Structure 1
Amino acid sequence: MTSLADAHLLTLVPPLIAAALVAGFLAGLFGIGGGAIYVPVLYQTFEGLGIPHAVTMHLAIGSSIAIIVPTSLRSLMAHWKKGAVDRKLLKEWVVAVPLGAVAGALVAAAASSGELRAIFAVLAFLLGLKLILGRITFMLGTDLPGLAGRSIAGFAIGVLSALMGIGGGVLNNTFMTLYGRPMIQAVATSAGVGALISVPGLLAYIVGGWGEAGLPPVSLGYVSVLAVLLVAPVSILVVPLGASLAHRLTRRQLELGFGCFLLIVAARFAYSLI
């Protein structure tokens, strides 16, 4: 069983590395952890390995969160050096966002595979639609809401991100720009949000899946160590390239491409529920 799984994993090395390159670049460019790319790719990988269907989606999300840890930290460091991060907001979110991430991970652990795929499909569709429509022209205010409002927003971003296995970049970018913050500051700050989500989310997915039946070899709860060790290092290498480009170029074409990708992923997961 173990040797068969390892053999299947080796045949999927090329697509996983390709996804790692794209996700790492997007982590720096959009301030996201790449989970929206990792989750569907890992889901298909685990399904192809013959891992029980009941845990493949949990594994994909948990492993994605684990991969996001180093990419988010590397992206945060790259943007921090450029002085674009809203450090005050990150300090205020140091409790709310991690609490939301843990809550989301615990909900995911208790949910079925079908429920998780439905949640991912709906959220991926909404995020993809938002990216295709482009930057929101209206604003809810000229500055961020008060501490209570910011805390609620941070908690919600943490919950939704942990349920999807993403770093929260698109969600935070939307929140900050709706309140008049410059896009480049939102992108840079999102890298920090990804770090606040991924670290506690990782621990929660490990605990939530500990001892679960049907997990593949070399797993810690709902985290496949083999997949993480393969994908994470490649992603880290290209994060600074994305962060550098974010400060110099328009992202419209990449937004359209990423938005279309999310819509395709949403349709794929929706179809799997039929």
Structure 2
Amino acid sequence: MDFFADYSMGWLIGLALSLLVTGIVAGLMAGLLGVGGGIVIVPVLYHLFTFLGIDEAVRMHVAVGTSLATIIPTSIISSRAHFKRGSLDAEILRKLIPGVVVGVVIGAIVSGFMDDQGLTAVFATIALLVALNMAFKKDSFSVREGLPGASGSGLLGVFIGGISTLMGIGGGTLSVPILSAMRVPMITAVGTGAALGFVISVPGAIGFLINGMGVESRPPLTVGYINLIGLALIVPATMLMAPVGARVAHAINATLLKQLFALFLFMTSLRMFYGLMS
């Protein structure tokens, strides 16, 4: 706890409020876009840890691991809210889950060999590509009608699970545009993405917890790569706001939902690239 002795009480209160606001925004995004909140939590934690002077060798790993842990309860609340409104497709989940689980395991293993800049680059690049796709893809654009067969769906699941784990996100960031391109209604893609967040976050968080055990220079109160302070402050806010986001998702049109999703991802990507270059 000597680490915090270097900061004033006012500064620490400001940090706590920042984490709470992060949780509020992340919860809204989880329910609204099915993204599990990680697309908000990872960059905010990364920059907070930078400001705190946390060693750059573990900074991104702790941000990703903590984000995955916070997504577990958020995805449960968000999925239940979408299920009650009929926007969760069980058949799509059945086809994707096996591949997603395999992808999460691969992502967790690979993350143990990647450095901080590697994880940051993955996050920024994928976020930018998804944002551009959502912003410029025409409504009439589609790859096919529905998911491919078992092999194709399995490969899609591996991609979604693996990249989502490396990014510390819940899966909706990738599954929403992919499902949308296969003519799945946007609101159904969002609800299904929220459910995939749970499938990704549980084994993903366990992987980051194991990978970080015994690693030096981690922030105080960090188990593995999961920071308990961020977890304790962010989770209550995300759980409170996720149902609100789900209600809003059913009250606005699909075009606006896509635009909001693209803008948010684009801004997030720019912040991360700036961090890599500075």
Task: Give yes or no for the alignment of 1:250 onto 2:236.
Answer: no
Which of residues 65, 84, 93 in structure 1 aligns to 2:68? 65
Query: 2:5 maps to which residue?
Result: 4
CA contact (8 A) 1:169 1:190 kept: yes
Identical residues among aligned pairs (%): 38
CA contact (8 A) 2:27 2:238 kept: yes
Compute the TM-score of the two structures, normalised by the length of structure 1.
0.93
Task: Give yes or no for the alignment of 1:151 onto 2:179.
Answer: no
What SS class does the counterpart of residue 112 from structure 2 fall into?
helix
Deviations 1:197-244 (A, max 9, x none): 001101001011111111122211111011111101111101111111
Query: 1:119 maps to which residue?
Result: 122
Q: Which runs of 5+ in 1 are unaligned?
A: none
Query: 2:20 maps to which residue?
Result: 17
> Shift of the alpha carbon at 1:94?
3.1
Query: 2:94 maps to which residue?
Result: 91
Which of residues 32, 35, 53 in structure 1 aligns to 2:38? 35
Compute the TM-score of the two structures, normalised by the length of structure 2.
0.91
Q: Which amino acid aligns with 1:192?
A: A
> Shift of the alpha carbon at 1:138?
1.5
The 1:126/1:229 distance shift into structure 2, 3 A limit, reads same
- Measured on the aligned residues, the alpha-carbon RMSD in Å equals 1.9
Q: Which amino acid aligns with 1:106?
A: I
> Shift of the alpha carbon at 1:38?
0.5
> Shift of the alpha carbon at 1:114?
1.1
Which of residues 106, 109, 114 in structure 2 aligns to 1:106? 109
Query: 2:178 maps to which residue?
Result: 175
CA contact (8 A) 1:101 1:155 kept: yes
CA contact (8 A) 2:186 2:254 kept: no
More deviation, 236-245/197-206: 236-245
What SS class does the counterpart of residue 273 from structure 1 fall into?
helix
Deviations 1:30-54 (A, max 9, x none): 1110111101100111112221111
Which of residues 204, 214, 218 in structure 1 aligns to 2:217? 214
CA contact (8 A) 2:96 2:156 kept: no
More deviation, 258-267/153-162: 258-267
> Shift of the alpha carbon at 1:159?
0.7
- What number of residue pairs does the alignment pair up? 274
The 1:251/1:84 distance shift into structure 2, 3 A limit, reads closer
What SS class does the counterpart of residue 213 from structure 1 fall into?
coil
Q: Which amino acid aligns with 1:190?
A: G
Task: Give yes or no for the alignment of 1:132 onto 2:135.
Answer: yes
> Shift of the alpha carbon at 1:149?
0.7
C-alpha separation in 1, matches of 2:195 and 2:85: 14
Task: Give yes or no for the alignment of 1:202 onto 2:205.
Answer: yes
C-alpha separation in 2, matches of 1:141 and 1:209: 41
The 1:96/1:206 distance shift into structure 2, 3 A limit, reads same
More deviation, 97-106/246-255: 246-255
Deviations 1:3-52 (A, max 9, x none): 33786553312222222111101111111101111011001111122211
Deviations 1:120-176 (A, max 9, x none): 111121122223325652112122111111111011000111111111113111221
The 1:257/1:190 distance shift into structure 2, 3 A limit, reads closer
What SS class does the counterpart of residue 94 from structure 1 fall into?
helix
CA contact (8 A) 1:75 1:191 kept: yes
C-alpha separation in 2, matches of 1:44 and 1:35: 14
CA contact (8 A) 2:97 2:157 kept: no
CA contact (8 A) 1:28 1:242 kept: yes
Task: Give yes or no for the alignment of 1:239 onto 2:257.
Answer: no
Deviations 1:94-132 (A, max 9, x none): 332122112112212211111111111111211222233
